[in-house]
Copies of this chain bind each other. A is one copy, B any other.
Amino acid sequence: MTTDNDPEYPIQVSVLRLGHRLVRDDRTSTHVALVSRAFGCKKIYMAYSDNRIVDTIHDMNERWGRQQEFEVELVNDWRSLIKSWKRNAGNVVHLTMYGINLNKTLPQIKIKNNILVVVGASKVPREVYSMADYNVAIGHQPHSEVAALAVFLDRLFEGRELDRCFKNAKMNIIPSQAGKRVSLEER
């Protein structure tokens, strides 16, 4: 499972999105997928089918490039996914305000090469808490799974995810003090 890992980013992270509620969570689920892609995850598993998210990610990959083959995959049986993940010697980290504070737990997590980060929308089934290797709280106040995922990944990758290179982009941003500068690639 770890043979194709980037030596600069030896930890491969995938995301499992649970509990999407129709309409209400459309934008939030899209943001979860966009953060997963932008912060260098390998894949997002969605327990709910939404072609718009697949289209959005495809469009982003076309316009803004890829740092690897980031994919959206529909998963019908997330319990099996979690179980097989653990069997294959990967960590399962569930982000929840009820867990152990990130500040306390991150130094103690025995990071394996393949992490599955589980983020819920509304209520997450109880069994997720017991199936996860780690229940990690990005603070103990209610806020946002988008924020929780982003902060977890930023800490895990120690900020280097913001410098990742995305290849084969049609558009590349030229960082600017003020304004919007973009270079367009001929392909």
User: How many copies of this chain does the complex contain?
Assistant: 2
B31 A175 Cβ-Cβ under 8 A: no
Give Cα A141–Cα B35 distance, bound, in whole angstroms: 9
State the interface size on chain A (CB cutoff 8 A): 58
Given contacts A175-B101, A177-B135, contact A166 B149 (CB under 8 A): no
Instruction: Kindly list chain B residues whose C-beta atoms are within 8 Å of the C-beta of A60.
Output: 141-142
> Could you show 13 A-B contacts with beta carbons less than 8 Å apart?
A35-B143, A64-B141, A96-B180, A98-B181, A101-B162, A103-B159, A130-B178, A137-B173, A139-B164, A140-B175, A141-B166, A146-B147, A147-B147
Q: Which residues of A contact B (CB under 8 A)?
A: 24-25, 27-28, 31, 34-35, 37-39, 60, 64, 96-104, 126, 129-130, 132, 135, 137-144, 146-151, 154-155, 159, 161-164, 166, 172-173, 175-182
* 19 more A-B residue pairs beyond the given contacts A28-B31, A139-B162, with a C-beta to C-beta distance below 8 A: A31-B144, A34-B143, A35-B144, A37-B141, A38-B139, A38-B141, A39-B139, A96-B180, A98-B182, A99-B176, A100-B177, A102-B159, A102-B162, A104-B175, A129-B179, A135-B177, A139-B163, A140-B175, A151-B151
